[in-house]
Amino acid sequence: MSGLADTTLQLNSGARIPQVGLGVWQTPSGAATRQAVAAALDAGYRHVDTARIYGNEADVGAAVREGAVARAELFVTTKLWNADQGYDPARRAFDASLARLGLDYVDLYLIHWPVAGKRLESWRALERIHADGRARSIGVSNFLVPHLEELLGAAKQVPAVNQIELTPFLQRRDTRALCDRHGIVIEAYSPLTRGQRLNHPVVADVARRVGRSGAQVLLRWGVQHRLVELPKSTRPARIAENGALFDFALDDRAMNELDGLEEGLVTGWDPAEQA
């Protein structure tokens, strides 16, 4: 039976990406991050999503290097922060991230945010990093339709993924349609609405019907839409719960009810405001 460790999506780079990854934004550096990653590996996760700005790359790298799972079976993502955008700064920032991680390569390197006037030069740096084999796949984050159209008009390489906030309450249908047309996989960040809609009556009703938690219902909705889901928790029991998504399914009625929850809920920064 396929499960957390072997449920993957195909990327345009040729690599495959595990469909559920542990997010570590706001997970404190040090033992908290190392323990969260270790708990995730124990639970069967094979994918961790960090970033320069999260301040915990070194701990993610330590947990990956010291864990029992072979590097080749793991998928590690980090991201280029805004202050480091531009061609030369991006290449230096990547070197520094890789050094902090203590790895020979990352599976995915993302432009964290579409910084105006810099993002195309940053993308050129990522293309170079990919060509050098040090990032197996490259992509973007927080790129909506105007940012993607600009990039696709200039890029040699189509991004493998676009990581955006995505839940039943914020569905970004136009961005998803454009990404589908170009074979760009969508990664859903803040997939638990940062806790804000876990007890929404529709979510709670679906959860009751399938005998699962509200968190699992939100994540399973994304899995069935062929999104990569990136839930964050520091608690081992919740990390396991958030990965237990492949032994149940939502029926058409439940999917339709969840699809009907769009309300434009942005819990973080809204890239629609970025020119």
Catalytic residues: 54
The H or E element containing residue 228 is: strand 228-229
Burial class from Cβ neighbours inside 10 Å (0-12, 13-18, 19+) for residue 86 reads buried
Number of H helices, E strands in the chain: 10, 10
The position carrying tokens 């006037």 is 117
Q: Are 103 and 156 in contact (CB under 8 A)?
A: no
Q: Least distance from C-beta 62 to ligand NAP, angstroms? A: 18
Kindly give the interhelix angle for 214-224 and 236-243, rounded to the nearest 10 degrees: 40
Q: Least distance from C-beta 262 to ligand NAP, angstroms? A: 17
Nearer to ligand NAP, 18 or 191 (CB): 191
Nearer to ligand NAP, 108 or 254 (CB): 108
**Angle made by CA atoms 254, 258, 259, in degrees to the nearest 5:** 115
Q: Least distance from C-beta 80 to ligand NAP, angstroms? A: 11
Binding site for ligand NAP (CB under 6 A): 23-26, 49, 112, 141-142, 163, 189-195, 198, 213, 215, 230-235, 238, 241-242, 268
Q: Which of 212, 210, 239 is closest to 44 using CA atoms?
A: 239
**Closest residue by beta carbon to ligand NAP:** 23
Nearer to ligand NAP, 25 or 105 (CB): 25
Nearer to ligand NAP, 14 or 275 (CB): 275
Q: Least distance from C-beta 168 to ligand NAP, angstroms? A: 12
